[in-house]
Structure 1
Amino acid sequence: MNPRDRLLNCLKGKKVDIVPALSVTQTATVELMRMTDSEWPEAHSDPEKMVKLAVSGHEIAGLEAVRYPFCLTVLAEAMGCEVNMGAMDIQPSIVSNPYSNNSDIPQIPDDLEKRGRIPVMLEVAELIRDKLDENVPIIAGLVGPATLTAHLMGTSNFLIGLIKKPEYVRQFLEVSTDICIRHANNLLEHGADVVCVPDGTAGPDLIDPAMFENFIKPEYQRFCRDVKGFKVSHMCGDINAILEPLSECGFEGISVEEKIIDLQTAKEILGDKSKLIGNVSTSGTMLMRSYDDVKNEAKNCLEEGVDVLAPGCGIAPNTPLKNIKALVDARNEYYQR
């Protein structure tokens, strides 16, 4: 199988020859930026630089997919948040929340696709598809509805609102989900094969699992129903408490980080509803330890039964290139035993 067929068949629940080795989260590193002359922060906005940097994760680092963009601020910026674009080794961050001091519900602008960097995201999907052969999958990232809501109203307002203004937050989440659905479908229509939805604000580290069931799960179900393509959820932290309801939302894949220690149990919980993706530690192993350490942890993930071998979170910008290559090397060695 080629990498694209392998990933898409895996997400469909079909048998594949070997486990895909790739990243559903951000892949840019300082080393790759220098090798491609495509550095942050320019590569967050410049289509050509974004394409070169994203594709380098496949062509240079060897990952079996191209994943872009490199931050979680695109939709928030388009909806009015101010963004600090960061530096060569620092990702963009939200610095203002336009709905922090009122109780308004945002309206989706008719010209959403023309706002902020959204036009760049759509153009880049087409450029990557033109640059690559059809055998390489493209994974496009977009922030999830809980995190988008927190960006727009402020995280503390979101968390307090879940308790004190539940109907207001529910209405806000519905609009955020509508925005995510619209953007995800646009990305897929412009060439992406899979959309990945990081939404750490929805996890047990911040909200009670009962609130996830009540507020987030219905929006995820609607997102998965209305997005016409493959969908992967990514959530940081220990999400054992919500793995079962998350598996019932309709995501073809669920990406977990290293805090999910018992991968076999996680895989049993997901059953045939969703594929398990992960979960080599990005900060503890890929960034800080050796090539052999990365390979050993990757092989353990394979032994535990992951369906897609991947970093447990976004790759840190200062991660050594050899430690990214270790993922595919470990997978290949695992199947040569």
Structure 2
Amino acid sequence: MDLIENLENAFAGKEVEKVPAASIVSVALVEGMEKSGCGFPISHVDPEKMLGLGESAHRYAGIESINLPFDLAIESEALGCEVDLREGNEHIPEITASPFFDDITSVEVNDDFLSSGRIPVVAKACELGREKYPDVPLIGGQIGPFTLLGQVVGIEYLMKCLATDPEAVKEGTNVMADAVIEIVEAYNDIGIQGDCMYEPSVAADLLPPEMFDEIVSRPLKRISKAADFNIVLHVCGDTTPILKHTLNLGYNGFSFEDSVNAKEANQIKYDLKSDTQLVGNVATDTLFKGDLEGVRAETFKALDRGIDILGSSCCVPPGTPLKAMEAMVKARDEYYEKGMDITRERNEEALSWEPDYKEMIPPVANFHQMPKLKKTLKL
């Protein structure tokens, strides 16, 4: 299977050989660090080590993509924030100081933004990845403008400003969008197949859904228009209240967690006549626990409910075993080997999204023993 062509077709809404098992969100696992010799924090600052870790999920678990980088402090660091890279393979960098804390009107993008901090490291790692793996999808990533604004001014202060000065929040978000667009336009010249923009702070429990269009729709649309590649918006938590917004922003994909019913997301997508593909939504908790039967069940469910690109519901926890990621890929393969994709096709045609085995209680290890399913699939 041509992995790049298959992923491109999925993003375009075309027929695919199989739904790609290409995690769009970050996959940086401790087992991968140990096997590759590329752990934290060195993989945050060395482009060769960054690629070594990024390729590990593909090499050792069969994930059909290579994802770079692994943390969400890169843009804020380039804007002048102080970042602690932290020691230990399970610890990601964190912001410790910012020149913009508690002053939203002072936020600006420095002239040397693209050459600052670790942005050049990520760019070099992407270039190395494109050279080494010309046949594997390369997925970049950066933080979204509203979440970036919360990082540089302080999230509690930002929430206060939402109530007291929403116009300042709107302006600050647009300034941060300018920074994100600089990175997106730089990615245009690298030859990546996809990009994940992490925007966790627009979740309904932080940004009221009724303020979504007023505050973030315009900057998010500006970013999507700047990309010459497939760009995916990722929002954490239960995004059901904002699906009608996130599926209507011009993004090629929307990545969401297992708390969202993909069946419902698909219905909203069809109602909107949206071209945004659905990405995810196998639970990180199930993957982290190494619950292989659970991973299999969730994979089947996501595929039946019309997920377009299969992957983790959020960034994969570092302690997740590689075998859990491999189990997701193998479950995807089994789904097609057993002919279960006819259920997916039928559901899509009817928009019923009702799997044949809906009354069955997990685990799903004995699906092949079900007389009804065997008859339906002509096994």
Secondary structure in 2 matching 1:10: helix
Structure 2: how far apart are the matches of 1:289 and 1:184? 35
State whether structure 2 residue 276 is matched by structure 1 residue 274.
yes
TM-score by length of 1: 0.96
Q: What whole-Å deviation, never above 9, does each CA across 1:132-170 have from its counterpart, x for those lacking one? A: 12x211110100001100011000111111121112111
- Map 1:1-337 → 2, pairs under 5 A: 1-86=1-86, 87-133=88-134, 135-260=135-260, 262-271=261-270, 272-282=274-284, 284-337=285-338
Deviation at 1:110, TM superposition (A): 2.0
Structure 2: how far apart are the matches of 1:258 and 1:147? 21
Structure 2: how far apart are the matches of 1:278 and 1:103? 34
Give ranges in structure 2 of 5+ residues lacking alignment.
339-379
Structure 1: how far apart are the matches of 2:7 and 2:178? 27
Asked if structure 1 preserves the Cα contact closer than 8 Å seen for 2:170 and 2:214, the reply is no
Structure 2: how far apart are the matches of 1:273 and 1:38? 38
Q: What whole-Å deviation, never above 9, does each CA across 1:78-104 have from its counterpart, x for those lacking one? A: 001111213211111122232123343
Q: What whole-Å deviation, never above 9, does each CA across 1:312-336 have from its counterpart, x for those lacking one? A: 0011111011001011100000001
TM-score by length of 2: 0.86
Q: What whole-Å deviation, never above 9, does each CA across 1:193-242 have from its counterpart, x for those lacking one? A: 21110110011021100111210111111111222221101110001111
Greater than 3 Å deviation, 4+ residue runs: none
Letter in 2 for 1:59: R
Secondary structure in 2 matching 1:259: coil
Asked if structure 2 preserves the Cα contact closer than 8 Å seen for 1:106 and 1:172, the reply is yes
Structure 1: how far apart are the matches of 2:26 and 2:195? 12
Structure 2: how far apart are the matches of 1:62 and 1:287? 17
Letter in 2 for 1:270: K
Structure 2: how far apart are the matches of 1:207 and 1:270? 22
Asked if structure 1 preserves the Cα contact closer than 8 Å seen for 2:4 and 2:136, the reply is yes
Gap change, CA 1:103 and 1:248, over 3 Å in 2? closer
Structure 1: how far apart are the matches of 2:188 and 2:296? 33
Structure 2: how far apart are the matches of 1:18 and 1:293? 21
The number of residues matched between the two structures is 334
Structure 1: how far apart are the matches of 2:314 and 2:42? 23
Asked if structure 1 preserves the Cα contact closer than 8 Å seen for 2:263 and 2:305, the reply is yes
Gap change, CA 1:33 and 1:167, over 3 Å in 2? same
Deviation at 1:290, TM superposition (A): 2.0
Asked if structure 2 preserves the Cα contact closer than 8 Å seen for 1:203 and 1:212, the reply is no
Secondary structure in 1 matching 2:105: coil
Secondary structure in 2 matching 1:60: helix
Asked if structure 1 preserves the Cα contact closer than 8 Å seen for 2:104 and 2:172, the reply is no
Which deviates more from structure 2 when the two are superposed, residues 83-92 or residues 101-110?
101-110
Letter in 2 for 1:186: A
Give ranges in structure 1 of 5+ residues lacking alignment.
none
Structure 2: how far apart are the matches of 1:226 and 1:304? 31
Asked if structure 2 preserves the Cα contact closer than 8 Å seen for 1:123 and 1:190, the reply is no
Asked if structure 2 preserves the Cα contact closer than 8 Å seen for 1:188 and 1:195, the reply is no
Gap change, CA 1:104 and 1:11, over 3 Å in 2? same
Secondary structure in 2 matching 1:189: coil
Structure 1: how far apart are the matches of 2:290 and 2:110? 46
Structure 2: how far apart are the matches of 1:102 and 1:158? 9
Structure 2: how far apart are the matches of 1:91 and 1:273? 34
Asked if structure 2 preserves the Cα contact closer than 8 Å seen for 1:188 and 1:194, the reply is no
Deviation at 1:55, TM superposition (A): 0.9
Asked if structure 1 preserves the Cα contact closer than 8 Å seen for 2:290 and 2:323, the reply is no
Asked if structure 1 preserves the Cα contact closer than 8 Å seen for 2:21 and 2:332, the reply is yes
Gap change, CA 1:109 and 1:330, over 3 Å in 2? same
Structure 2: how far apart are the matches of 1:325 and 1:188? 31
Letter in 1 for 2:66: V
Structure 1: how far apart are the matches of 2:199 and 2:248? 16
Letter in 2 for 1:317: P
Letter in 2 for 1:296: A
Give the percent of matched residue pairs that are identical in Structure 1 and Structure 2: 34
Structure 2: how far apart are the matches of 1:229 and 1:98? 33
CA root-mean-square deviation: 1.2
Gap change, CA 1:256 and 1:101, over 3 Å in 2? closer
Which deviates more from structure 2 when the two are superposed, residues 250-259 or residues 216-225?
216-225
Letter in 2 for 1:298: T
Letter in 2 for 1:120: V
Which deviates more from structure 2 when the two are superposed, residues 230-239 or residues 10-19?
10-19
Secondary structure in 1 matching 2:251: coil
Structure 2: how far apart are the matches of 1:191 and 1:2? 17
Structure 2: how far apart are the matches of 1:291 and 1:148? 35
